[in-house]
Amino acid sequence: MGIFIPAFLCIALFGAIGFGYVLPGFEKAIMLKKKEMLKQLSRTAISILETYNKKEKQGVLTLYQAQKAALAQIRDLRYGEDGKDYFWVNDLSYNLLMHPYRTELENTSVYDYTDPQGKYLFRDMVKVVQSTGEGFVQYEWQWKDDPQRTAPKLSYVKEFKPWDWIIGTGIYLEDVKAEMARMEKRFISTGIFILIPIGLLAGYLTYRQYQSEKATKEAMLAYKHTKEKYEAVFLSSPDPVIVYDHTGRAEYISPAFTRLFGWKPEELIGSRIDFVPPENKAETMQAIKLLYAGKTEHLPFESKRLTKDGRVIDVSVSAAMYKDTEKIPMGMVVNLTDITQRKIVEEALKDSERKFRSISANALDGIVMIDHEGKITFWNKAAGRMFGYSENEALGRDLHLLLAPAKYHSAYQVAFEVFKKNGKGAIVGRVTELIAKKKDGSEFSIEISINALRLRGEWCAVGIIRDITQRKEADEALRESESRYRALFESGYDGMFLLIDGVYADCNLAAEKMFGLKSEKLIGTKPLDYVPAKQAGGHESTRLWHKYTEKALSGEPQFFNWRQQRFDGSEFDTEVNLNVITVRGNLILLSVVRDITGRIQSEKRQAQLEAQLQQAQKMEAVGTLASGIAHDFNNILQIITSDIQLMKKDSQRSVEDLEHLEQMDREVQRASDLVRRMLTFSRKVDPHFKPLDLNHRVSLASEILRRSLDPMIEIRLDLAENLKSIKGDANQVEQLVLNLGSNARDAMPEGGTLFFSTRLKMLTDERGKPPFKLSSGEYVLLEVRDTGMGMDPETKEHVFDPFYTTKEVGKGTGLGLSMVYGIVKAHGASIECESEPGEGTVFSIYWPVAAKVAGEVEKAKEVKQPEKGKGETILLVDDEKAITDMTGQMLSEFGYQVLTSGSGEEALDLVGELDDPPALVILDLGMPGMGGSRALKELLRIEPGLKVIVASGYASEAKIRESLVAGAVDFVAKPYRFVDMLETIKNVLS
């Protein structure tokens, strides 16, 4: 009964909730959904009206054309089941404008129209719209395909104010009832499907409860015996054992856990043990998930764990689930084995294997390994080159059968027998000369050194084979070669030493070159004898060296950096690799020393290059920012200068007002020049070479320096009068002066004087070196002199090198003078530097004289009175309305018909609707949407002969060229003056 009563209550509760609450809620939700659908559909119809209203406002369509096209499009809209739902339109005067099924009522008054129940439905619709602008109305209406049949209908009406129209659409309430009926049918079917299994389950659970209580008693007794048995196993285990429950909390911890990890059981029982390092948590969680998912019964894996005192140890983890009688996981048993020492040994073996592979792969001699039966088990690349056999062809073959001519097989066999007899446990140390054959059958002399070693319990041999054919031909007397150790020892590029009892017992030629001493001088000395003098008296070097040697002698190879001193006293940085080797049973230290001074210097240079790259990236960011704001900033300047020019036309203004306006106009031009200077500085615009007044550019740059340099630095100018012009880019010349001034500032941290002087210089002979070699002739000389600290010869030699700097990290990059170098070279000029420590620095730049004289340089443009137009139509396209308004006003005053557009899309629509294309289009390149470039192409596509002038607040040279190639006839940069624009327009139209 404990099971059946809840089951019957569940059935009764299901019926009450379903029919009393759930189904009514469904009906309400369906009605809300339908109402929201009607609102969304009405918005769709309203959007159609808005589209045609916009076209009427733009003058594209008349009001009649717009309303007629809108009604036709809405008449065709259908939705709902079988497409029976539709839209109708009436106005606030009760005229039915459109009804797809009651066409007989169209264009008639429906003020007195009633439904079968006598309801004035159209009056209600107008009342709702006038009250709230939109709302719902319920009434009786004829069925779509059966005029004699009526049904309740719910409609949603919404006002379209621009035309005083009402858009209506509705649904038949019978559709909602039909959908609700389908929902009730599905609910009842689902209820029956659920309640039948509940009744069956009640009986089954009653039976299971009885069986469960019986099994529980038996299991408790078995559990008691099992627990006692496994506790005894855990106590006797030398490895830590942890028993977790299903929540991950520790239920049992063996004594071995405390011995290895330090925690006592009472500290951790009942809690989660947090001793997994962060980098090993993922693999541990993955293992636990596999166990709980039943993918495996037992999961061993290797990981790392933390001890109580913070040490990290390597462990072998063995985890298994324990389950109840129903095979449901109850927890997990984890066994941990400390494998830290085993890991250290394995890593050392891997390191040794890697070293052997590296040495053998790069060795010039052939290295061959054979097993105890004489089969080839290793074959390096040098052996392949020497004998002509690939590795696959050699492995597994008998060494003497593969490499020895038949007549020398016995000699090879003797050598192999010597190895088998004497090679076990020690280096054989025997070098044998033999005759070998190549794959093509040709014979040649070799020298083979055989060494013994034991791999995986089996004795084998390593043979180092050298082709001594040339040596035999050169010196017949030389018959014995070095052993494997001597061949590798002497052929190394790094310095190699053998140390016995801490004293150098042997060294190679590379070691002699490295320390500047012959081997007889090095042998007998100690490594600490070559510690730099400033460290020799300290104990730290001695302590470190002894620590490294002790670890190496214990079998742990050492690799460390060590500062050393040559015989001539010069210091250098080295990498030292200490390994212990066994020679005839004696332990000897092998020290391999590599000079890394160049690498360290390279790393320092790399750091400097990275700093310079960061600075270059900053400059690129400045350029990106400058180009990003240039367009908008020049648009703002265009609006300001247009306002100024329009105000200047007012004949009632006083002379004083006109002077102020003129001053404002000049400041706008200065601002525009400043934007271009920023873009040139950041290399966002191409340089423009033209005749320049060097004195004028130096004066402008010096004013900027006066505002930016420390007040303790005085700037003096000595500029020659009537100086001839040079040909160059104004912004780059100013940038050169600014960079030289900035460099002088760094040379005068305590203040000083910065001199700029110019004069004409006649060279009678050639001078200088490429790329700054000058022929005889006339030059304009610019000298920049400071009273700073000067430069030493090395700094002076690298003064223009971008990869050489005296600046500290974070104090700049030293790119300023390299930029000066590039500007001078680009202008075909020459630069010289004179400097002494403590005597300041002088930079002399020789500029070629331009063809024009100074009086012709940078002459103000003559202002002409613009001519009036002849009524031509000009289309202005710009997203800045203020620009189109003011430019349009100006053009109108000068006799032109003006059309305006705020985007490329609008311009295309306007040109397409005109009977005759405009005489000229002035198109802004930088606009949102399709943009100016694409608009240009589309305009010329629909009107191939159209004349277009492109304008922009900022456009790259490539962008301008692209526009001209695409068909534009001219380009005007913002901010432009009206007189310049009028002149350009006149030239284009004529």
User: Is-contact 966 940, C-beta < 8 A?
Assistant: yes
pLDDT at 10: 57
pLDDT at 628: 62
Confidence label for 811 from pLDDT (cuts 50, 70 and 90): very low
Asked whether the predicted pLDDT for residue 503 surpasses 50, the reply is yes
pLDDT at 84: 76
Comparing 106-110, 512-516, 679-683, the range with the smallest average pLDDT is: 679-683
Is the Cα torsion angle 17, 21, 27, 33 positive or negative in sign?
negative
85 lies in a domain?
A: yes
Q: Which residue has the higher pLDDT, 790 or 863?
A: 790
Confidence label for 17 from pLDDT (cuts 50, 70 and 90): low
378 lies in a domain?
A: yes
CB-based contacts of 808, cutoff 8 Å, min separation 6: none
Is 464 exposed, middle or buried (CB count within 10 Å of its CB: 0-12, 13-18, 19+)?
buried
Run of H or E including 794:
helix 793-797
Asked whether the predicted pLDDT for residue 857 surpasses 50, the reply is no
Closest CA to 711 of 746, 755, 751: 751
* Domain match, 295 and 257 both: yes
* Domain match, 850 and 896 both: no
Q: What is the mean pLDDT of residues 96-110?
A: 89
* Domain match, 846 and 883 both: no
668 lies in a domain?
A: no
pLDDT at 813: 39
Q: Which residue has the higher pLDDT, 53 or 144?
A: 53
Is 554 exposed, middle or buried (CB count within 10 Å of its CB: 0-12, 13-18, 19+)?
exposed
% of residues, the chain, pLDDT over 70: 80
* Domain match, 291 and 429 both: no
* Domain match, 483 and 496 both: no
Confidence label for 481 from pLDDT (cuts 50, 70 and 90): very low
Q: Which residue has the higher pLDDT, 765 or 64?
A: 64
Helix (H/G/I), strand (E/B), else coil: 904: helix
659 lies in a domain?
A: no
* Domain end marker among 450, 465, 490: 490
């212990």: which residue's tokens? 580
pLDDT at 758: 95
Task: Look up residue 113 and give its amino acid.
Answer: Y
Closest CA to 886 of 671, 666, 667, 638: 638
Q: What are phi and psi of 668, to 5 degrees?
A: -60, -40
* Domain match, 263 and 367 both: no
835 lies in a domain?
A: yes
Asked whether the predicted pLDDT for residue 429 surpasses 80, the reply is no
* Domain end marker among 338, 371, 394: 338
User: Is-contact 783 757, C-beta < 8 A?
Assistant: yes
* Domain match, 264 and 411 both: no
Q: Specify which of 258-272, 347-361, 663-677, 814-828 reaches the highest per-range mean pLDDT.
A: 258-272
pTM above 0.75, yes or no: no
19 lies in a domain?
A: yes
Confidence label for 155 from pLDDT (cuts 50, 70 and 90): very high
pLDDT at 805: 54
Residues in the chain: 990
User: Is-contact 947 918, C-beta < 8 A?
Assistant: no
∠645-649-650 over CA atoms, to 5°?
125
CB atoms within 10 A of CB 922: 27
pLDDT at 265: 86
Joined tokens for residue 275: 């001793």
- Cα separation, 821 vs 832, in Å, equals 10
| 415-426 pLDDT per residue, tens | 677 666 665 544
Run of H or E including 464:
strand 458-467
Strand partners, 780: 760, 847
pLDDT at 695: 93
* Pairing mode, strands 920-924 and 873-877: parallel
pLDDT at 693: 92
- Cα separation, 968 vs 952, in Å, equals 13
Q: Specify which of 572-576, 614-618, 927-931 reaches the highest per-range mean pLDDT.
A: 572-576
CB atoms within 10 A of CB 710: 11
Helix 597-648 with 655-681: angle, nearest 10 deg: 160
* Domain match, 586 and 701 both: no
| 279-326 pLDDT per residue, tens | 988 888 888 888 887 777 777 888 889 998 989 899 988 888 877 777
Joined tokens for residue 94: 């009760």
- How many domains is the chain built from? 6
Confidence label for 905 from pLDDT (cuts 50, 70 and 90): very high
Asked whether the predicted pLDDT for residue 427 surpasses 90, the reply is no
| 772-797 pLDDT per residue, tens | 777 888 899 999 999 999 888 877 87
User: Is-contact 372 458, C-beta < 8 A?
Assistant: yes
Comparing 453-467, 552-566, 685-699, the range with the smallest average pLDDT is: 453-467
* Domain end marker among 137, 163, 179: 179
Asked whether the predicted pLDDT for residue 542 surpasses 50, the reply is yes
649 lies in a domain?
A: no
CA 552 to chain centre: 44
Confidence label for 903 from pLDDT (cuts 50, 70 and 90): very high
pLDDT at 186: 76
Q: What is the dihedral of CA 910, 914, 916, 922, to 10 degrees?
A: -10
Asked whether the predicted pLDDT for residue 111 surpasses 70, the reply is yes
Asked whether the predicted pLDDT for residue 701 surpasses 80, the reply is yes
Joined tokens for residue 619: 């400059």
User: Is-contact 770 807, C-beta < 8 A?
Assistant: no
Helix 957-966 with 931-942: angle, nearest 10 deg: 10
- Cα separation, 484 vs 368, in Å, equals 12
460 lies in a domain?
A: yes
Comparing 186-190, 575-579, 740-744, 865-869, the range with the smallest average pLDDT is: 186-190
| 435-461 pLDDT per residue, tens | 888 989 888 888 888 777 777 667 788
User: Is-contact 641 665, C-beta < 8 A?
Assistant: yes
Confidence label for 900 from pLDDT (cuts 50, 70 and 90): very high
Q: Which residue has the higher pLDDT, 132 or 416?
A: 132
Asked whether the predicted pLDDT for residue 480 surpasses 60, the reply is no
* Domain match, 30 and 145 both: yes
Closest CA to 262 of 310, 294, 200: 310
* Domain match, 412 and 541 both: no
pLDDT at 342: 82
Domain that holds residue 877: 873-989
pLDDT at 477: 46
Helix 931-942 with 904-913: angle, nearest 10 deg: 10
CB-based contacts of 414, cutoff 8 Å, min separation 6: none
User: Is-contact 675 630, C-beta < 8 A?
Assistant: yes
| Mean predicted lDDT score pLDDT of the chain | 80
Asked whether the predicted pLDDT for residue 531 surpasses 80, the reply is yes
CB atoms within 10 A of CB 285: 11
Contacts from 773-779 at CB under 8 Å and sequence distance 24+? 773/830, 774/830, 774/846, 777/848, 777/849, 778/724, 778/849, 779/846, 779/847, 779/848, 779/849
* Domain match, 423 and 526 both: no
Closest CA to 331 of 271, 270, 254, 247: 247
User: Is-contact 837 647, C-beta < 8 A?
Assistant: no
Joined tokens for residue 806: 């005296």
Is 325 exposed, middle or buried (CB count within 10 Å of its CB: 0-12, 13-18, 19+)?
exposed
Confidence label for 175 from pLDDT (cuts 50, 70 and 90): confident
User: Is-contact 937 925, C-beta < 8 A?
Assistant: no
CATH number, domain at 128?
Answer: 3.30.450.20
CB-based contacts of 36, cutoff 8 Å, min separation 6: none
* Domain match, 971 and 886 both: yes
CATH number, domain at 907?
Answer: 3.40.50.2300
